[in-house]
Structure 1
Amino acid sequence: MQALRHYLLAVQFFTRIPVTGRLATWVGYSPAMLRASSAHFPGVGWLVAAMAVGSYAALWLGLGGAGFAPLAAAVGCTIATVLVTGGFHEDGLADVADGLGGAYQPERALEIMKDSRIGAFGAMALVLALLAKVALLAQLGHLGLSSALAALAGGHVLSRLWPLVIVRAL
């Protein structure tokens, strides 16, 4: 049961999927529990991947898989994943880009990263990252539906597994 509590805490932290009311009370929260829930980050990746794969496949198949179908599917699944995660990673990218692009001193960079407002470097990083993601997913969709779905599933899971590997190694 503890593993389920940790998984639900990871879902609550990294997505907008509601874990509220009595369920949230049962799950509980503490900094120690949040650290323990890190083992379940790849599981959250599978959940987000299911949303991405489902939306991409539905749009790709619904539009016939030819012409602009891969592009529409890439845009649709990107919107779906941003909605399900609340733009968690996109927000982090914008903060890092603003901090690293807007300051030379480490203290000032950290101060900029904590600021909730988005700056020019953050906006540029977001636009370029989202354009690259959509373009690459559309290109994979032109190669075939299975290529795009494999990239989506692998990307969402591996991007949540890799930090655990790094933490373990360091």
Structure 2
Amino acid sequence: MRRLIVAIGFLTRLPVPRIATQDGDFAAAIRLYPLVGLLIGVMVAAVAWTGSLVDPWVGALGGLVAWVAVTGALHLDGLGDVADGLGAAHGRRERLLAVMSDPHAGSFAVVAIGLQLLAKFVLLHLIAGDWRALVAIPAAARIGPLLWAGWLVPLKPEGLGAAIASAARTRDGMGWLLILAGGCVLLPWLVMAPLLIAGFAWWAKAKVGGVTGDVHGAGIELVETGLCLACAVYWAV
């Protein structure tokens, strides 16, 4: 329970009780990220479904606002930092890390975040009435960090990427993938989740060279959008 509270406090802006933590709790909380994703999904689904009773676009807007608000734009910030880093680095690793660490948002970050929000808004319009999908998507996307932490090399010796890499265990990732496989019985398009997670790992290794906290955040955002698209295509077909 202690580590779940730590995970909720980090990944969301929901109020959590103040508790005494032990060394390693913050990093080990990664094992419970998908559970926090379920909580995020429930809140997004509730707002989107309620709004869709008025109009699908109202549901999409409500769901998007809830998604950003409950996460505090944490992962959007990571996406923006990665976009800025790649846009300004020109293949230089030192420059990439320096730009990603800069708290200011550049033009690449603004464009990336704007496109991400627009994509989610349009896709939420298509799936806002499917509450099961909206609950499942944030949870499935947060399986990603458990696997990326094991697959990718941390780019900073000290930082979130390095911290959670030490706590990530293969059995946790495999366990959540088995649960995901069960979810595919009800939501067949969830089969895309492992492919999107693996695809992002390949991209991050090729373009960034490893993983940081920002890379984890960017990956969660992109996998969420990919799953929204997969759901929309499934229902359209």
CA drift of 1:54 comes to 0.4
**Which has a greater percent of helix?**
1
Q: 1:75 aligns with which of 36, 42, 61?
A: 61
Q: Are 2:141 and 1:159 equivalent residues in the alignment?
A: yes
Instruction: Give the TM-score normalised by structure 1.
Output: 0.83
CA drift of 1:5 comes to 0.2
- Runs of 4+ with >6 A deviation: none
Conservation of the 8 A alpha-carbon contact between 2:6 and 2:29: yes
CA drift of 1:118 comes to 0.5
Q: How does 1:115-134 map to 2 (within 5 A)?
A: 115-134=102-121
Distance of 2:144 and 2:81 partners within structure 1: 20
1:150 corresponds to which residue?
132
CA drift of 1:164 comes to 1.2
Pair 1:106–1:161, CA change in 2 (3 A): same
Conservation of the 8 A alpha-carbon contact between 2:48 and 2:62: yes
Distance of 1:167 and 1:119 partners within structure 2: 27
Distance of 1:168 and 1:126 partners within structure 2: 27
CA drift of 1:168 comes to 4.4
Secondary structure in structure 1 of the residue aligned to 2:143: helix
2:71 corresponds to which residue?
85
Q: Which amino acid in structure 2 is aligned with residue 55 of structure 1?
A: V
Conservation of the 8 A alpha-carbon contact between 2:63 and 2:124: no
Determine which structure has more spread, i.e. the larger CA radius of gyration: 1
1:27-52 CA distance string (max 9 Å, x none): x254x111211111001001100110
1:13 corresponds to which residue?
10
Secondary structure in structure 2 of the residue aligned to 1:16: coil
Conservation of the 8 A alpha-carbon contact between 1:9 and 1:29: no
Identity of aligned residues (%): 36
Instruction: Give the TM-score normalised by structure 2.
Output: 0.60
